[in-house]
Amino acid sequence: MSEQANNRPVLVIPCSGIGKVHGLISREATYLVADEMAPKETDTLCLALLVKRDPEAVEAVRKQQCITIDGCPKACAEKNVEMAGGHAAKAVQVTEAFKKHRGAKPGTATDLTLDGWAIARDVAQEVADEAARLCREREVRE
């Protein structure tokens, strides 16, 4: 990780999978973190830019710390970050969060129910906690 990562926000990159509710949860969890829980410590980036190999996006995931959120075991977000030369400091799986919400009806790929929002908030909290830990580590190193 470059020294330049020190004062840049942690990038939270969801898969935003279009086929299932898990993708929507990954996306909305990202916005909960970047807009509400840790707006100063985190930011997001279009995963599609990595598919395109956009030079600025590739440079960003190489220089900044990343947390990926994937909806399914294909782990598109994590894999695309790594294929671009970055590294996911933490790779969160939405399916893991479902284990704490047995029997939940989270909604669809288009809309979340209250159960779905609860799961998204759990995922977001896990990501926000990890981002805070990464920032603390940076401060200690400085």
Partner 1 sequence: MSAEMTKVGIVSCSGEAIPEGTISRLATRRVLELLRPDNTVTICLPLFLAGNEGERNFAKTHPTITVDGCPKQCARWGTEQHSGPVSGALVISEILGTAAIGCSRSLRAASRPDKEAIWTVAEHIAAEVDRILAEVTSVSTGQSKDGTECACSAPIPGRIVTVKGAPVTIPGLELIFRQCLARSIAADSNGITALLDAVKIYHRILPEEEPEYRAALLQAYVEFSREHGPENK
Cβ neighbours of residue 33 closer than 8 Å, sequence gap 6 or more: 12, 42, 124, 127, 128, 131
Tell me the per-residue interface mask from 52 to 81 with partner 1, x by CB under 8 A, - otherwise: x-x-------------------xxxx-xx-
Number of residues that bind partner 1 (CB under 8 A): 36
As measured in angstroms, the least distance from the Cβ of 45 to partner 1 is 6
Does 13 bind partner 1 (CB under 8 A)? Our answer is yes
Helices (H), 32-110: 47-51, 55-63, 76-83, 94-98
For residue 7, give the 3-state DSSP assignment: helix
Tell me the per-residue interface mask from 87 to 106 with partner 1, x by CB under 8 A, - otherwise: --------------------
As measured in angstroms, the least distance from the Cβ of 80 to partner 1 is 5
Scanning 1-9, 30-38, 95-103, 133-141 for contacts with partner 1 by CB under 8 A, the matching segment is 30-38
Q: Counting Cβ atoms within 10 Å, is residue 70 exposed (0-12), middle (13-18) or buried (19+)? A: buried
Mark residue 121 as left, alpha or beta (left: phi above 0; alpha: psi -120 to 50; beta: remaining): alpha
Does 47 bind partner 1 (CB under 8 A)? Our answer is yes
Q: Residues interacting with partner 1, by CB under 8 A?
A: 13-19, 23-24, 27-28, 30-32, 35, 44-52, 54, 74-77, 79-80, 83, 109-112
